[in-house]
Amino acid sequence: MKRLMITGFAPFGGDKINPSWEAVSRLPDRIGGYEVFKCLIPVEFGHAGEIALEKAEVFQPDVILCIGQAGGRAAVTPEMLAVNLRYASIPDNAGQSPEDTPVVPGGDNALFATVPVRRMASAIREAGLPGTVSLSAGAYVCNDLLYTMLYSFRGTNVRCGFIHLPYLPEQAGDRYPSLPLESMIEALKAAILALD
C-alpha cells in the first residue's frame, strides 16, 4: 500500500475556518491504494514548508498533496506549477509580508507539479464536480508550500502537488462562488484516485 501525505491549512485573513483543513480532516484513512496521513499546516511563509518537511520525514510518503483555499474561485483546481516568488497582499499568520522575494534564493523560477494535474482535474469533473487546472497557485503561502515541496523532493520518487478549494458556502456571502464541504471531500477523493 502506497503512502499519501495530505495537508490542510489553518484559517487566515480574518476567516474562522479554512475549507482545506475542513475537507482534509474528514477524509478516510484509506483511499484506493493509498494509506492517508493528514496534517495541519500553519499559514506562515517558510514555516509552512518546514512543518510539512518534518511531517514527511515521519510519514515517508510516496505522494504529498497539499490543499489550500482560493477564495473567489468557482472550481476545485489542481495547480500546474509553483513559482519562486513570495508576495503577500495581506500579512501571513506570523505577520510577514514579503514583497517579491524568492522562496529559495537561486532556485528555478518555477517548478512543475509532479502529480498528473490534467488527469486529476478530469477525474473531478467525471465525478460531477467542478474541476479545472490552474496555472497559478498565487505568491502567498500556498505557492510557498508547493514550491518548497517540489524543490525539496526534486530528483526523488516523491511526487508533489497542490489543489486549491473554493470558499465554503458559509464563507461566500452573496457575491462569491462556493462549494459544499461534502463536494470538496468527494473532489479530493476523485483526485487522489486519479494519482495513478
Interaction of residue 181 with a copy of itself, rule CB under 8 A? yes
Interaction of residue 132 with a copy of itself, rule CB under 8 A? yes
Closest approach of a copy of itself to the CB of residue 37, in Å: 26
User: Up-side HSE of residue 70: CA atoms within 13 Å toward CB?
Assistant: 21
Query: What are the DSSP calls for 58-118, one per residue?
Result: HH--SEEEEEEE-TT-SSBEEBSEEES-EE-SS--TTS---EEE-SSTTS-SEEE-SS-HH
Binding residues among 40-79 for a copy of itself as defined by CB under 8 A: 72, 74-75
From its phi and psi, is residue 160 left (phi > 0), alpha (psi between -120 and 50) or beta? beta
Interaction of residue 170 with a copy of itself, rule CB under 8 A? yes
Residue 164: active-site member: yes
Interaction of residue 177 with a copy of itself, rule CB under 8 A? yes
Residue with the three cell numbers 478516510: 28
Closest approach of a copy of itself to the CB of residue 52, in Å: 21
Interaction of residue 131 with a copy of itself, rule CB under 8 A? yes
Closest approach of a copy of itself to the CB of residue 45, in Å: 16
Interaction of residue 130 with a copy of itself, rule CB under 8 A? yes
Binding residues among 89-128 for a copy of itself as defined by CB under 8 A: 89, 100, 108-112, 118, 125, 128
Interaction of residue 182 with a copy of itself, rule CB under 8 A? yes
Residue 66: active-site member: no
**Residue 157 CA from chain centroid, whole number:** 19
Closest approach of a copy of itself to the CB of residue 151, in Å: 12
Residue 124: count of CB within 10 angstroms of its CB: 26
Residue 79: active-site member: yes
Identify which of residues 83 and 115 has a Cβ nearer to a copy of itself in the complex.
Answer: 83
Alpha-carbon Rg for the chain, nearest whole angstrom, is 15
Q: What is the DSSP secondary structure assignment for residue 175, as one 8-state letter? A: T
